[in-house]
Amino acid sequence: MSDNNINKIMRAIPGMDIMLDSEWGKSWIAAIGRVTVKNILNQELALLRRDILENKLDLNNINIEEELKSRSIKNFERAARKNLRRVINATGVVIHTNLGRSLIADEAVEAMRQAAVNYSNLEYDIESGSRGQRNSLVENLLCNITGAEAALVVNNNAGAVLLCLTALAKDFEVIVSRGELVEIGGSFRVPDIMALGGAILKEVGTTNRTHLFDYENAINNNSKIILKVHPSNFKIEGFTAMPERLELAELAHKNNLIFMEDAGSGLLVPGEDLNLIGEVSIKESLNQGVDLITFSGDKMLGGPQIGVIAGKREIINKLRKFPLLRALRVDKTTFAAFETTLRLYMRGELDSIPTLEMIRRDKNLLREQADNLAEKILERVNNKRVKVEVVKTSDAVGGGSYPERPLMGWGVAVSCDASVADVKLSAGSLLNLMRESKTPIICGAHDNALIIHVRTLRGHDVDLIINRLEEIFN
């Protein structure tokens, strides 16, 4: 194309004011704001001019304004999409760290809403009419449930561990078994947190076997804490050894040391109540002599992200006065959700807490849910090349909790060995297509089939899953 024709095409590009004042421009300004629309149009204008000059477009058969509009709308849609979005968890992992961990109970959600839209007594003592302490909103509840003398809450469990080590053991030695120097998600490492808090790490024993005498031999005048750490997302089996809590407690107290445990997950009821054998609850740990225990609120506890420190009153009182506490404090909506969740525990309404209900769900109910889902898919997906069957699944508690034993569950396997639009739908392709849904659907896969685990589905998820499969296959 000649330079004259190129110049003619370039002059045909509408001006910014014209585009901003167009009907489609105005609609997107209302949705995402004038500045965002203008920035995107400027970017696309630059790219369009480049493509024209480099002869990358069929300029004889192009409507410049429509071309610019179609290019921009993709970016408008991307800008309008919320960054934090709802997704459907069809993986069978109940406490899925990447998908937001525990779901909040309906009653707790309403409590959060009330705290957000109204003034509250967050730091006001109504009885005395004077300044109050936000920690008092949940401390008695925590003590009643765990049997602790006192309790404190911070923003998460990593913060709880950091506060304890900084306030109680700065420049002192903390004795830890080598088998418990763990790294969990996000490269959170116990030695790193200890160093950040100014504590001196004293490793004892070996990866698989640590004896009481290892701890005993490590104690010196600079020792301050014996720390037991929950192994989180792994388990060492076979030729192993680890002292009992009662033994470590006796050793610590005999030497005027603090026996601290990072319990990680926060199990507030006996494991048997959740059909989980072998997991020790917070109350059991404290009964076995632990002086100070830290745990998360958004894992096995089933509440919002929070870190709890529970134990001896004398030790907790030292933490209350430490300046770092203010940097780790919890906001009003989180307090509202946490208090409500604790009250559900107090009333014994475990199945009102989504995380606990999903873990406890009866296997016969899971099979019934899988049967119903498979039946609905077959009714709606009109494609003989699609295979739908109910299968047993291996689900998980997740969140670094109870890693050694899966939860036996049920799900629906969807596979296709033929082509749709000449594209073979492997399990990987189906995973991508489900994830690209308007409401992303995150599934599992096995034996070249898409696996929809029903344990982690909410009631309103089923229709969206079926609609998406109908879009893909019909």
Residue 140 included in any domain: yes
Query: Is 132 in the same domain as 207?
Result: yes
Residue 181 included in any domain: yes
| Per-residue pLDDT, 53 | 79
Minimum mean pLDDT among 348-352, 367-371, 418-422: which range?
A: 418-422
Q: Which of 250, 246, 222, 353 is nearest to 297 (CA)?
A: 353
Q: List pLDDT tens digits, range 428-462.
A: 999 999 999 999 999 999 988 999 999 999 989 99
Query: Is 204 in the same domain as 319?
Result: yes
* Domain finish residue from 326, 352, 378: 352
Q: List pLDDT tens digits, range 161-210.
A: 999 999 999 999 999 999 888 776 556 678 888 888 899 999 999 888 99
Q: Which of 339, 298, 279, 302 is nearest to 135 (CA)?
A: 339
Q: The domain spanning residue 385 has which CATH number?
A: 3.90.1150.180
Residue 340 included in any domain: yes
Report how many domains make up the chain: 3
Q: What pairs with residue 310 in β-bridges?
A: 151, 293
Q: List pLDDT tens digits, range 310-363.
A: 999 999 999 999 999 999 999 999 999 999 999 999 999 999 999 999 999 999
Query: Is 65 in the same domain as 111?
Result: no
Query: Is 347 in the same domain as 293?
Result: yes
Q: The domain spanning residue 318 has which CATH number?
A: 3.40.640.10
Query: Is 329 in the same domain as 384?
Result: no
Query: Is 24 in the same domain as 55?
Result: yes
SS3 readout for the chain: CCHHHHHHHHHHCCCHHHHHHCHHHHHHHHHHCHHHHHHHHHHHHHHHHHHHHCCCCCHHHCCHHHHHHHHHHHHHHHHHCCCCCCCEEECCEEECHHHCCCCCCHHHHHHHHHHHHCCCCCCEECCCCEECCHHHHCHHHHHHHHCCCEEEEECCHHHHHHHHHHHHHCCCEEEEEHHHCCEEHHHEEHHHHHHHCCCEEEEECCCCECCHHHHHHHCCCCEEEEEEECCCCCCCCCCCECCCHHHHHHHHHHCCCEEEEEEECCCCCCHHHHCCCCCCCHHHHHHCCCCEEEEECCCCCCCCCCEEEEECHHHHHHHHCCCHHHHCCCCHHHHHHHHHHHHHHHCCCHHHCHHHHHHHCCHHHHHHHHHHHHHHHHHHCCCCCEEEEEEEEEEEEECCECCCCCEEEEEEEEEECCEECCEECCHHHHHHHHHCCCCCEEEEEECCEEEEECCCCCCCHHHHHHHHHHHHHC
* Domain finish residue from 352, 381, 396: 352
Query: What mean pLDDT do residues 366-372 have?
Result: 97
Query: Is 18 in the same domain as 129?
Result: no
* Assigned token pair, 175: 């004795």
Q: Which residue has the higher pLDDT, 418 or 279?
A: 279
Query: Is 324 in the same domain as 403?
Result: no
Residue 25 included in any domain: yes
| Per-residue pLDDT, 3 | 62
Residue 101 included in any domain: no
- pTM summary value: 0.89
Query: Is 180 in the same domain as 305?
Result: yes
Name the average pLDDT for the chain. 90
Per the structure, the complete domain to which residue 450 belongs is given by 88-96+358-473
Strand 407-416 to 386-398 pairing: antiparallel
Query: Is 128 in the same domain as 190?
Result: yes
Query: Is 234 in the same domain as 294?
Result: yes
User: How many angstroms separate the CA atoms of 420 and 383, rounded?
Assistant: 10
Q: Which of 207, 206, 201, 209 is nearest to 226 (CA)?
A: 201
Query: Is 345 in the same domain as 362?
Result: no
| Per-residue pLDDT, 19 | 87
* Domain finish residue from 289, 319, 352: 352
Q: List pLDDT tens digits, range 293-304.
A: 999 999 999 999
* pLDDT exceeds 50 at position 421: no
Q: Report CA dihedral (67, 71, 74, 76) to the nearest 10 degrees.
A: -100
| Per-residue pLDDT, 62 | 75
Per the CB < 8 A criterion, the answer to whether 245 and 278 are in contact is no
